Amino acid sequence: MDKIWLKSYPPGVPAEINAGEFASLADLFEKSVAKFAARTAYVNMGKSISYQELDELSRQFAGYLQGELGLAPGARVALMMPNCLQYPIAMFAILRAGYVVVNVNPLYTARELAHQLGDAGCEAIVIMENFAHTLQEVLSHTKIRHVVVTGLGDLLGFPKSLIVNLVVRHVKKMVPAWDLPGHVGFREALSKGRGHALKPVRLTHDDLAYLQYTGGTTGVAKGAMLTHGNIVSNLQQAHAWIGPYVKEGEEVIVTALPLYHIFSLTANCLTFLKIGAVNVLITNPRDIPAFVAEMARQPFTIITGVNTLFNALLNNAEFAKLDFSRLKVALGGGMAVQQAVADRWKALTGKPLAEAYGLTETSPAVCINPLNLPEFNHSIGLPISSTDISLRDDDGYEVALGLPGELCVKGPQVMKGYYNRPEDTARAFTHDGYLRTGDVATIDADGFVRIVDRKKDMILVSGFNVYPNEVEDVVAGHPGVMEVAALGVPDEHSGEAVKIFVVRKDPSLTAEALIAHCREGLTGYKVPRFVEFRDELPKSNVGKILRRVLRDA
């Protein structure tokens, strides 16, 4: 497809990026911490650390991984924490030491955690103590040999660290009992790491940086292999897009989305590392009053989020009292931005809410709306610099301009493939090397792309992917269930919610019992919100349950 979108690029946004500016993410990190050494890098729960401190602390933790644990180059190290200071310190240490980051959702159930740790072959994990009990359940079934445990307040300084950990453990009782023999505390690991010099590792764009897990139509989470080149390219693409609107060393970005999510990881953590921004980490964005209070203390200039987050902020009375005079960019991704939310945001803040689109497999950004647009436009924007797209029909042929087709993507940000899944990787790409997104889209004469449907059965709950087969597998494990089908239904709060259609084996089975069963095997956002019992489910002539019939009913 001709790059018709280039004519709609804002002034100052290039058609191509220079991915070769940085040899690796470690190279980017070391240049940024040197350039912005005296500037604040992260703020969390009232504690700030400078870029120089970030350099020193990550160097210490890298020394621990290399010198104390003796991990071999390319070893997989898992991170299982919410947004806190420990997260970027550990993550950058892993990358600098030449290892691979495996991001883990802290809310995973034991079943989900066992699969991901096992599939990735993780040898070490850094985990918040709140979730250590889950690891305890599965540790013996993994290759994990080293466990580093941290408390939420560990890096907040005396006496706040003691107070926060006391409240979390004993007042709010947020830390279930756990026992992980041989574990090491995060501060102890830093102390031990001081005795080991960081051994420089030569990394290239071809080296693996992240195994970033995403679901699939089979319901089995797959590790997208994202190289240093993929991520460097995407942060360069993101920086090219925002470059005309931001200034080095002057921005303050609010990071409420979890850093283990690819959107927040690349857009917030890495892109803004390059320009020396202050990154305000929000540990619990569900606590909207505390979130808004933190925003009141910070003169923020950038915020990213999902539609549900922006909506929740707009429904908080104190949020309306904030000073938005310094706000430059508000970017929504992960799920569709709703017109009503965008309109309210613009009316309150005076700045438009720009929608972006991406996938785990594309590191993630594919399209972003121009940041100089005055109003919300219902599109996911324009393909970003150095990105090609093609809209294909079911036979793989490109469709005519204006007609719907599957959105297919090619660019330096597209993953290397799925880890240890060559067949899935082959299915994910077209014969000429485009990644199939599974989303049906149109493109207009000015190059703006609009999503019209999802080819996949994937359900999008507050920006997180939920795959029907995974839900169905857990539901079917209940002895009272004969058949089940799961699909997404509209929800004003989360975009979509999970609904299951069930044929009962046990006539006394209730919806409440089924939902309780699901909570034992699924992360909260995957748990069905609605249950409908039926005498039978529609099927094809070969016996396959027809979700589309249920959806259209």
- Cα(306)–Cα(332) distance, rounded to whole angstroms? 5
List the structure tokens of 316: 């908080």
Identify the burial level of 72 via C-beta atoms within 10 angstroms of its C-beta, where 0-12 means exposed, 13-18 middle and 19 or more buried: exposed
Length of the chain: 553
First-to-last alpha carbon distance for the chain, in angstroms, is 37
Walking along the chain (553 residues) 10 residues at a time, the average pLDDT comes out as: 96 97 98 98 98 98 98 98 98 98 94 96 98 98 97 97 97 98 98 96 98 69 96 98 97 96 96 98 95 96 92 94 97 86 94 95 98 92 98 93 95 98 96 94 96 80 85 90 92 92 96 96 95 90 74 82
Within the chain, what is the greatest distance between any pair of CA atoms? 68
Place of tokens 């301009």: 401
Give how far Cα 219 sits from Cα of 115, 140, 381, 422, 467, Å. 12, 24, 30, 17, 6
List the structure tokens of 58: 């990550």
- What does the angle CA 263 – CA 185 – CA 121 come to, to the nearest 5 degrees? 55
Domains delineated in the chain: 51-203 (3.40.50.980), 459-552 (3.30.300.30)
For the beta carbon of residue 119, count every other beta carbon within 10 angstroms.
20
What residue type is 467 in one-letter code?
A: Y
Per-residue model confidence (pLDDT) at position 332: 94
Per-residue model confidence (pLDDT) at position 218: 44
> Under a CB-based contact definition with an 8 Å cutoff, are residues 86 and 134 in contact?
no
Per-residue model confidence (pLDDT) at position 219: 56
What residue type is 268 in one-letter code?
A: N
> Under a CB-based contact definition with an 8 Å cutoff, are residues 75 and 100 in contact?
yes
> Under a CB-based contact definition with an 8 Å cutoff, are residues 193 and 70 in contact?
no
Q: What dihedral do alpha carbons 271, 274, 278, 281 form, nearest 10°?
A: 40
Per-residue model confidence (pLDDT) at position 543: 59
